[in-house]
Amino acid sequence: MRIALAQLNLLVGDVPGNAARILEAIGEAQAGHAGLIAFPELALCGYPPEDLLFHAGLREDLAAGLERVREASGGIAVALGYPHWEEGRWYNAAALFHGRRLLLLHRKNVLPNYRVFDERRYFAPGAEARCAQLGDIRLGLAVCEDVWEAEVAERCAADGAQLIVAINGSPYELAKQAQREQVLAARALETGLPLAYVNLVGGQDELVFDGGSCVVDASGQVCLRAGAHEEGLYFCDLETSGGGPARPLAGSVAPLMSEEAEVYAALVTGVRDYVRKSGFSRVVLGLSGGIDSALTLALAVDALGADRVLAVMMPYRYTSPMSLEDARQQANTLGAQYEVLPIAGMVEAMREALSGLFAGLPEDVTEENIQSRCRGMLLMAISNKQGRLVLATGNKSEYAVGYATLYGDMAGGFAPLKDCTKTRVYRLARYRNALSPAIPERVIERSPTAELRPGQLDSDSLPPYEVLDEVLDALMMEDLSVGRIAQRGFDPGIARQVLDRVRLSEYKRRQAPPGVRVTQRAFGRDWRYPIVSGYRSSRNSP
């Protein structure tokens, strides 16, 4: 028997469009002589549908789309993920169709409700896991989280399964593929059964799905692995004679990627799909001559093509000749459109308008923020007039501690680096340059600066990024207190300062654009701190 894993990039809510892509894949699988094609979790509506599930119109679209898929199963078995409506409740379901009949309906048993997952808000859990006979093989079905615990696989094995097909909507995060395959190997060793795993690819809001569809044999060895971020059908042949577990034959096994390679690929995918799926075709960004905007420009060009990217340098009196030179050099190297729009007139006009209210008050960060907000206004005006999505260029370190200007450099429709700390930004820049020249070396080597006042450096306001980023990881990934962080050798005063700034900056982050999630905990779906809070890290000092 030959199975096809349909690793597809689908659009949430576009049931007719998704159904058309599913039917196209069914035709491709039949042409490839597959007897079964498996689609990802909730493929028919896209993942995650979130509150679209509350709309009655979606149910009507799903019923029509499901009927189209059932009709297409005349000559091939189809395992399809979709939301199943039954007795006033939604189930996250996998259906097995063959001969235009429903052979098996599996309702997801294990509903994740952590990090970015919120499935108990929408779905009721299933309580059974059974199998169906498909020719000379007996199949069990599982949906994503079902295989992260042992019970569903064990139930399938008890019902005589020879193969478990797991359909998934598993978002990317660092080192996720190795973790998935460890889980699949554990289920295989526990049950003595092979598992076929199919996953989505593509970006959806801040989530990126990296694919990694694979097949593991009964010993847990990977027999097939699809390429990360690559849409397509991946075929695996199975030996099914003898009545025992199916035996997958060796197929193509794509190599696992390095950390920088997988993060960079996820960022490119996230930018490309957010722009495309939002209805835009072009982007604009402010190119300052600094490392963050330089990396954002490289990502944008790699995701969309240089002809769709406009980089705008907006100099003021504090902008160094180095920044002007490096910004122009990079735009020319990458082939992006480049414009210079000086902001001196705007800044002085705004300062003049405020002079009465500011009389007698010393200059401070207010005047610095006026520069940043003038730049944000220009980028948004270009967006409105030319129909370009604005890419914000801030990184996770800056968003964490509020080292960013609300309605200034935080303005935009999407923030590609939102989940990348400053230290990761530097690693990604060097990785990108190793592929081909993209970022001037001087941009990478220079000390980071916002250039909002004479001689300004980021280190004037922040701890060294190497320290700041480690403290942030301890806070965000491990939820450690100041005392616990200090026990790792960090100055407790610095740890307290960082944690307090994270708390105080929540109101800014709530107004920030979405950005690609690449770590186990990002600002956005899996960060839910209150804006107004009486919590103080000083109470937890060592």
CATH number at 153 reads: 3.60.110.10
Domain with 301 in it: what CATH number?
3.40.50.620
Domain end marker among 212, 235, 252 = 252
Q: Which amino acid is at 149?
A: E
The DSSP code for 280 is: -
pLDDT band at 247 (very low <50, low <70, confident <90, very high): very high
Contact 199, 211 (CB under 8 A): yes
Contact 139, 110 (CB under 8 A): no
| In a domain? residue 503 | no
Contact 449, 457 (CB under 8 A): yes
From the list 45, 108, 214, 420, the catalytic residue is 108
Q: What are phi and psi of 332, to 5 degrees?
A: -65, -40
Residue 376 half-sphere exposure, CB side, CA atoms within 13 Å?
A: 20
Residue 45: active-site member: no
- Residues of the chain with pLDDT > 70: what percent? 99
Please determine, for residue 76, whether its predicted confidence score (pLDDT) is greater than 90: yes
pLDDT band at 537 (very low <50, low <70, confident <90, very high): low
| In a domain? residue 487 | no
Domain end marker among 235, 252, 269 = 252
| In a domain? residue 12 | yes
| In a domain? residue 528 | no
Domain end marker among 228, 252, 276 = 252
Please determine, for residue 229, whether its predicted confidence score (pLDDT) is greater than 90: yes
Q: Which residues contact 130 (CB under 8 A, 6 or more apart)?
A: 104, 106, 140, 155, 156, 159
Please determine, for residue 541, whether its predicted confidence score (pLDDT) is greater than 60: no
How far does the chain reach from its first CA to its final CA, in angstroms? 63
Residue owning tokens 């007897």: 35
Question: Is residue 48 located within the same domain as residue 197?
Answer: yes
Tokens describing residue 264: 């960079």
Radius of gyration for the alpha carbons in the chain, expressed in angstroms and rounded: 26
Residue 41: active-site member: yes
Cα separation, 438 vs 332, whole angstroms: 10
Question: Is residue 247 located within the same domain as residue 304?
Answer: no
Question: Is residue 331 located within the same domain as residue 355?
Answer: yes
Which structural domain, as residue segments, surrounds residue 311? Answer: 261-458+514-520
From the list 45, 119, 131, 144, the catalytic residue is 144
Cα separation, 152 vs 156, whole angstroms: 6
Strands 337-340 and 89-98: unpaired
| In a domain? residue 469 | no
Please determine, for residue 539, whether its predicted confidence score (pLDDT) is greater than 60: no
| In a domain? residue 466 | no
Q: Which residues contact 34 (CB under 8 A, 6 or more apart)?
A: 2, 3, 4, 76, 235
Question: Is residue 236 located within the same domain as residue 378?
Answer: no
Residue owning tokens 């919590």: 535
Is the bond leading into 48 cis (omega within 30 degrees of zero)? yes
Q: What are phi and psi of 88, to 5 degrees?
A: 80, 15
Please determine, for residue 491, whether its predicted confidence score (pLDDT) is greater than 60: yes
Question: Is residue 240 located within the same domain as residue 266?
Answer: no
Question: Is residue 279 located within the same domain as residue 376?
Answer: yes
Question: Is residue 235 located within the same domain as residue 287?
Answer: no
Tell me the per-residue pLDDT of 391-442, one tens digit each, with 9 for 90 and over. 999 999 999 999 999 999 999 999 999 999 999 999 999 999 999 999 999 9
| In a domain? residue 476 | no
Question: Is residue 296 located within the same domain as residue 351?
Answer: yes
Cα separation, 300 vs 279, whole angstroms: 16
Cα separation, 203 vs 268, whole angstroms: 9
Question: Is residue 157 located within the same domain as residue 272?
Answer: no
Write down the pLDDT at residue 193.
97
Closest CA to 347 of 474, 452, 466, 213: 452
Question: Is residue 248 located within the same domain as residue 298?
Answer: no
Please determine, for residue 540, whether its predicted confidence score (pLDDT) is greater than 80: no
Tell me the per-residue pLDDT of 152-193, one tens digit each, with 9 for 90 and over. 999 999 999 999 999 999 999 999 999 999 999 999 999 999
- Average pLDDT (68-76) is 95
Cα separation, 529 vs 507, whole angstroms: 10
Cα-to-chain-centroid distance, residue 251 = 28
Write down the pLDDT at residue 202.
97
Question: Is residue 126 located within the same domain as residue 203?
Answer: yes
Write down the pLDDT at residue 542.
45
Q: What's the total number of domains in the chain?
A: 2
From the list 41, 145, 173, 368, the catalytic residue is 41
Write down the pLDDT at residue 394.
95
| In a domain? residue 411 | yes
Cα separation, 325 vs 328, whole angstroms: 5
Please determine, for residue 507, whether its predicted confidence score (pLDDT) is greater than 90: yes
Question: Is residue 211 located within the same domain as residue 265?
Answer: no
Paired strand residues for 248: 238
Residue 385: active-site member: no
Cα separation, 428 vs 440, whole angstroms: 13
Write down the pLDDT at residue 538.
57
